[in-house]
Structure 1
Amino acid sequence: MTQTRTVETLLEQLTLEEQVSLLSGADFWRTVAVERLNIPQLKVSDGPAGVRGGGPLVGGKKTAAFPVGIALGSTWNVELLREIGQHLAREAKDKGAAVLLAPTMNLFRSTLNGRNFESYSEDPFLTGKLGVAYVQGLQERGVAATVKHFVGNESEYQRNTISSDIPERALRELYLVPFEMTVKEGKTLAVMSAYNKLNGIFASENKRLLTDILRTEWGFNGLVMSDWFGSHSAGESVRAGLDLEMPGPARARASLLEEAQNDEATREAVKTAARNVLNLLVRTGVLDSPLDVRDENERDEEYADTRELIRRAGAESIVLLKNEGDLLPFPAGAKVAVIGPNGAKGQVMGGGSAQMNAHRQVSPLEGLQAALAEEQVTYHIGCYNDKFLPIFAGGFNIEYRALGGEEVLAREHRPLGEIMWFELPAGIPRAFQATLTTTLNITEAGTYELSLASAGLTRLHVNGEAVVNNWEDFRQGDTYFGFGSDEVRGEIHLTEGEHQVLIEYRTADVPHGFGMSAVRFGFRKPLPETSVQEAAQLASEADYAVVCIGTNGEWETEGVDRWGLELPGRQDELVREVAKANPNTIVVLQTGGPVLMPWLADVPAVLQAWFPGQEAGFAITDVLLGQAEPGGRLPQTFPARLEDDPTHPETPDLQYPGENGHVEYQEGLFIGYRHVDRHSLTPLFPFGHGLSYTTFEIGSVQVSTEEVQPGETVNVTVEVRNTGQRRGQTVLQLYVHDVETSLERPEKELKAFQKVTLDAGESQTVTLPIDMRSFAYFDDTRDAWVADAGEFHLLIGQSSANLTVQLSVTLASEWVQSVRNA
């Protein structure tokens, strides 16, 4: 940036109207340019598991799809997250974006949060460390991170209006910690405010949150933007510390210029916010070297290193939950039956704003076929697990009209059976009607299911016959971020040949969310009742049965919470029947969070594979065949039953999902493994759990001092040895237990960890540092972090339930760090 083109110089040259213009987006993904002063647009893009660019949520330009957040959380690998951030920066620049809306720093308070798959962990320390690495990797390659959603967005129920009522200690010790770490350690350049209220005040206009804590206490000097359509005021939000309203054009801030003209405090706040926008342009290099914000490159083949990274990260995220008799890995010469609804589908991502048009979606079937001879691999779907009917594979020819009009204003072809109209053809108003036509080519006569889900009113006709009516009886449901209808289904008998489909659409007269318009056409032929038995029979003819079950991005999605913990459809039945037919049954489970496993005792091996990105089938195959280690360790407790979740009493109430506009975090500090310890529960699988294809032994452990002085850092050195026959990975985990606390605290808290990769017989000494905050709790009566004098236990092992080493240290005197004048 030249001497004559400093931020302060530009700020003085900007008129008040121009300053105000910088504080709301120009469109969905770009900020406003000020051509008079050569201030360019800044483009942002959704993450966190890829870079979609400026395209729609479905379709659009292809891009690399990385493992989702919970998968990356299960790697416990800080350096891997940094490497992924570096690659995402390259992807962002290819899409003309200098800001990525990622990473997601919210915690797993509840197993039923629909967006858990985007986050890393139930533990704030693990979440923070991984987030810091992601931010650093992204930003060292010139793309700004935007940590989100600040703060208290731990469920999707009424997220746009609900107040997350969080006790101060829980807020400080759990929910703020990952954000604090990404600000102080990661130096994130941007923060996104949450949709929800925090203790009665919208996060996007919460001065205590955005100014007092974020800027004054933590020293943040970057940009704060709203979540999309998540701002609710003009001058008030700017004075509270919200710099940028997204998307544009200005909506909540339509009156901001008038307010600023009439109020000095608002004018000063506008100037400060404009400074933050300009600083972000400078820090991303965009001010002097603008990116082509229209650039939507689809680079794939030339980025072989990214494909390799996604495959490697996907394998390292897979958690080996069970491996009786060392069934895995199985030999390459085996005959394998791939069974289940996720077998021939690449379930690579969750739903909502995190989804993208991946370069490819490799299924487990494709992965195994590529690794083995094709004749060694057979397949049967067994059952369905879709929440909705599959999207029609063809596209639509569309004619647009004004509401009530006859004249066709525009025509276009859309290649997919689902459309979200974020952008309309030129001249088409936001309120419109359309007819969508397509052809069904039926090769087998029979009964078929058809469905519509829409943000707007829809009717479906086949050959002139009405099949689905989502018009007169339109009801808002769970689709399209909670602003579309539920899916409405119909059935029709179709003969072989071509059949004409007509869908009528019009924007609804009732509010249906952010002006969103969308339609989804589902279509399929039902499976026969005997399909599960047919799958089991096929499995009986193979050496190994790989049952690929779980969920998909319809179940695990933004805008609606998870359905429960039971697997949908006939999947539990399918596992049981296959296990009866073949004793070498391996379950590959792909979900965005915990599920119940009533068949666990019936199968010898279970892999938790999450949604591991576009190379999913290759990563899963690598682990099944032992070409890669199952490197994952659970970042979330898997409860034995829903009632063991800390936020789920027998009936829904104020604690979850909330009542009368409030959700109370009544469990306080006790989520995840903290809740397990407090109530002496036995989870299905504990936090930090994961098996290896080899074995590890913890050797000598030493602490740098047994008498700790206030302000001192304690270093714990741990020797670990690979006692098995092959190379493998483990995670050393260190938890702190306060023996003599003056306030109630969790039984133990994760405060250090290290991923270790060792060859057979190799040993390594690892250093785990423990600082004062690791010993401290937050005293809300003193507004301070406090570590009591006295004894602490340091618990070391390979999961929260497998802590084989205990050391004792003593803090010589009380340590206090006030936040009042931080």
Structure 2
Amino acid sequence: MLNNQKIIEQLTLAEKAALTTGQSTWQTYAVADKIPAIFMADGPHGLRKQTGATDHLGLNASEPATCFPTAATLANSWDENLIGQVGAALGNEARALDVQVVLGPGLNIKRNPRCGRDFEYYSEDPYLAGKMGAAMIRGIQSTGTFASPKHFAANNQEYRRMASNSLIDERTLRELYLTNFEIAVKEGKPRVLMSAYNEINGIYAHENKYLLEDILRKEWGFKGFVVSDWGGDNDHVAAVQNGGNLAMPTLGANGPLEIIQAVKSGELAEETLNQRVDELLTQILQSTAGKNTQQQVDWSHQHQVAHKAAAESIVLLKNKAATLPLADTTKVALIGDFAKQPRYQGAGSSLVNAQQVENMVATAVDQPITFIGYEQGYQRNGIVDHELSAAAVALANKSDVAVICAGLDEISESEGLDRTDLKLPDNQVELINTLAQTSTPIIVVLSAGSVIEMPWLDKVAAVVHGYLGGEAGASAMWDVLIGKQNPSGKLAETHPLTYEDVPFGKEYPTTQRDVYYKEGPFVGYRYYTTAEKPVRFPFGFGLSYTTFAYSDLHVASSGVTAMVKNTGEREGNEVVQLYIGKSDSQLIRPRRELKGFTKVHLAPGEAKQINIRFDDKAFRYFDVTSNSWQVEAGTYDILIGASVDDIRLRGTIVEAGQNVAPALNLVHYRKADLSQVTLADFSALYGQTLPAVKTEIGQQLAINSTIAEMRYAKNWLARQVYRYLKHALAKSEATGKPDLNLLFIYNMPFRAIAKMTNGQVSLDMVNAILRMVNGHFWSGLTRLINHYFKNRKQNKVWQKEMS
């Protein structure tokens, strides 16, 4: 029996088919007097509701909204309650703008620090990412607004994101790339979930029965509906068949007509369609759609929430000779373009039209320091300007300390574009080195959504990483600099010494369809700790203006307790981290893994007992033979630390479980010696033969070939189009502002021409274009013209029928 049986019985086949696609870019179909439309909007760290010209890349204007710190920033707080407050503020703003679904949070694992969208994701660790995501979901949904965690799953590079195939061995998939979603779904109970663009082991995410039905619904108990990423619907009938409820944006008449035809031909059982519609309706009818529940926004309150979230998430990375906090009346010079024109969010679909953006210069006058002036210091576009540098040095020489605001510009971290390296722009590095030659202590304030190499670290007195702090990031940073806020942020990702230390870094992003996850489970700190490779800053690291002592570890079957004491002179917060390892494991596994954490507030001299319970994820591993979670029998190391490398207390516990046969004879994997891993090793870990790669002039392009693959097209005109796109992209990149639209087109598959044009282009038209590209120009053109008129007529008939 369906939850909405009576309503579904009243719907025509056409109406049910229509409900599986959007009616517009952001809205679902409404059925008069029965079903309202719901409005979805981007919103990982602030609402992006478009009411005029719409796009999914953040290029066109949106309604004014609060810009909260990004996920990469919030994760550094390790504070579920704080993130819940941000979620509630975001949900209330959605209610005010009559938005039913916030498209976020982003949960993908930071597999590689060059991923252009890492600023939207929480962590390299699935446990931390899952906990942060669940907290955000609970906060958003406490307001009646629905959350839609994304992108499910293994979506870890921007290059070719709509036409890549993530090849991952089953254990790694379950333990790293699905555990984050599992925690978020089970603990956050989202009403919506967004599938990813990519394939996982050969099957597109939005039509992947193993992910959407077997794991998400049956194993995890998900009760909501699954929406495609925008343009991520591949085979619409297969999606409905295998667990996808809604394809966005609108497919015009094409998507519904595919469903109708499939039902009539028997390819798709109407019972299956009814099930997908039922899952969707359960959420739509419980949403705020059509209930006139809009409310006013208290913008002052929203800004205060953004400020608090930024302040709690700032990470102090270096503080030589207690340079910070700044004493009252300290003469401070502010240097750097970011001090006046702040970098506070990323680029792409998450771009927020923030209305209360602060900057360090304007907020300096409110601080108890003596602000002696500001100099730009460097050009934001990376061009060296010696006059600006000289003026900055002159100002620094007049000050007690010089604060240089450095970081990555907006286009360095963006949806659709992966980073080229982990470096600061050369002109910023040159300025830091020049200022370090003065007698004035240098404090570097960083603004970036992810990892930065710091070869200049030894030359400066202090480094404070604000990540992307949102609209209130400037005043939050001042709170830390002057000591009003004792920094308590801890890194949610590892900062390697150089990018060369990142395993298989030269292969990222993969430019071919198949992406080999050759590192297996050794992502982030799991690699560095196991391989004993030094890093710049380890996972979980962050300094404070006070100190903490750990003692009295007690390990029980239910969890651990320990005493933590503030041994300094300032009150502060400490993030206590639980890691578990098994040194004699027969499995390929990291030396230690995060399995719990807690944040404790302590006054000077105060001590408290902390308690971290073992949950169902503490000792488990995924057994591919039985296709189930198991526990390896034996002794486990229980480690309590201030970071993954700063272990303060050690204990052990013996766990019952199953005896495990030794892992495959993969010596390099067992030692995390990834530099020696061969393709044959990965094939053995993966468990099956790897697909062959074919790239040559004259090859046949298919519907999921990318536009960029026209470089191999048989038709010379198609190759000329490729050359034009390549030249136009290079030209835009040379200006420092790559054209995101061109980049999206360059990397998208041919099918997206149909999926992203609101029904104006049909799949038949795309296949005709492919026929032209593949060397049958005139017959393909004839078919294209015929299908164009057929599609136009079909859309008119459909619009009339549904109006």
**TM-score class, shorter:** 0.7 to 0.9
Q: Aligned partners of 2:40, 2:168: CA distance in 1, in Å?
A: 31
1:59-458 equivalences in 2 (<5 Å): 59-250=61-252, 252-263=255-266, 265-286=268-289, 289=291, 299=297, 302-372=298-368, 376-386=371-381
Check whether the contact 2:98–2:289 (CA below 8 A) recurs between aligned residues: no
Cα deviation code 1:734-766 (max 9, x no counterpart): 100113322111000000101111111111111
Q: Larger helix proportion, structure 1 or 2?
A: 2
State the SS of the aligned residue for 1:354.
Answer: coil
Greater strand percent: which structure?
1
Whether the 8 Å CA contact 1:314–1:615 is kept in 2: the answer is yes
Q: Secondary structure at the match of 2:551?
A: strand
Number of the residue aligned with 2:476: 619
TM-score normalised by length of structure 2: 0.79
Per-residue CA deviation, residues 214-250 of structure 1 (Å, 9 max, x unaligned), is: 1122221210000001101221111011100111143
SS in structure 1 opposite 2:349? helix
Q: Is the 8 A contact 1:80 1:313 kept in 2?
A: yes
Give me the whole-angstrom Cα distance separating, in 2, the residues matched to 1:574 and 1:338: 13
Shift in Å at residue 774 of structure 1? 1.1
Report the Cα offset of residue 312 of structure 1. 1.1
Q: What CA deviation, in whole Å up to 9, does each residue of 1:530-568 have, x standing for no partner?
A: 221221111111111000000132111100101201112
Of residues 635, 638, 641, the one that matches 2:498 is 641
- Shift in Å, 1:719: 1.1
Number of the residue aligned with 2:614: 770
* SS at structure 2 position matched to 1:212: helix
Deviates more, 1:671-680 or 1:48-57: 48-57
Say which of 528, 531, 539 aligns to 1:679: 531
Out of 742, 750, 756, the position equivalent to 2:600 is: 756
Unaligned runs of 5+ in 2: 661-803
- The Cα of 1:686 is off from its aligned counterpart by 0.4
Query: What CA distance in whole angstroms lies between the structure 1 residues aligned with 2:381 and 2:293?
Result: 40
Structure 1 residue 259: Cα displacement: 1.9
Please provide the CA RMSD for this pair. 1.9
The 5-angstrom pairing of residues 526-675 of structure 1 reads: 528-648=385-505, 652-653=506-507, 656-675=508-527
* Contact 1:16–1:257 (8 Å) recurs in 2: yes
SS of match in other structure, 1:74: helix
Query: Match of 1:10?
Result: 7
Alignment CA distance shift 1:602-1:254 (3 Å): farther
- The answer to whether structure 1 residue 28 and structure 2 residue 5 are counterparts is no
Structure 2 counterpart of 1:723, one-letter code: T
Structure 2 CA distance for partners of 1:314 and 1:18, relative to 1, 3 Å: same
Q: Distance in 2 between matches of 1:661 and 1:235?
A: 23
What CA distance in whole angstroms lies between the structure 2 residues aligned with 1:156 and 1:253? 30
Q: Give the secondary structure class of the aligned counterpart of 1:736.
A: strand
Question: Matched residue pairs, number?
Answer: 652
| Alignment partners' CA distance in 2, 1:688 and 1:202 | 34
**Does the C-alpha gap of structure 1 residues 125 and 257 become closer, same or farther in structure 2, counting only changes over 3 Å?**
same
Distance in structure 2 (CA, Å) of the matches to 1:173 and 1:540: 53
1:776-795 equivalence runs, <5 A: 776-795=620-639
Q: TM-score, normalised by structure 1?
A: 0.77
> Which residue number in structure 2 is paired with residue 506 of structure 1?
none
AA in 2 matched with 1:585 = I
SS at match of 2:515: strand
1:210 counterpart letter in structure 2: L
Partner Cα separation in structure 1 for residue 384 and residue 368 of structure 2? 28
Name 2:37's counterpart in structure 1.
41
Counterpart for residue 726 of structure 1: 570
Q: Is the CA contact (8 Å cut-off) linking 1:86 and 1:137 kept in structure 2?
A: yes
Report the Cα distance in structure 2 between the residues aligned to 1:85 and 1:647, rounded to whole angstroms.
36
CA distance in 2, matches of 1:754, 1:41: 41
Kept in 2, the 8 Å contact 1:105–1:128? The answer is: yes
Q: Tell me how far apart the structure 2 counterparts of residues 18 and 693 of structure 1 sit (CA, whole Å).
A: 62
Q: Deviations over 1:173-207 (max 9, x none)?
A: 00000111111121111110101111111111111
**One-letter amino acid matched to 1:617:** A
Amino acid at match of 1:678: T
Unaligned runs of 5+ in 1: 388-525, 706-713, 817-822
Q: Give the direction of change, closer, same or farther, for the CA distance of 1:553–1:207 in structure 2 (3 Å limit).
A: same
CA distance in 1, matches of 2:311, 2:198: 35
Tell whether the 8 Å contact from 1:540 to 1:578 is kept in structure 2 after alignment: no
SS of the aligned residue for 1:804 comes to strand
CA change 1:143–1:226 in 2 (3 A) is same
Distance 1:126 1:38, change over 3 A: same
SS in 2 for 1:150: coil
**2 CA distance for matches of 1:721 and 1:151?**
41
Offset from partner CA, 1:9-65 (integer Å, 9 cap, x none): 111111111111111111111111111x33211011101001112345343321000
Whether the 8 Å contact between 2:316 and 2:487 is mirrored in structure 1 is yes
The amino acid that maps onto 2:379 is Y
- Output one character per residue of 1:663-684: Cα deviation in whole Å (capped at 9) or x when no partner: 1000000011111022211101
Question: Which of 566, 575, 581 is matched with 1:737 structurally?
Answer: 581
Deviant stretches of 4+, over 4 Å: 251-254
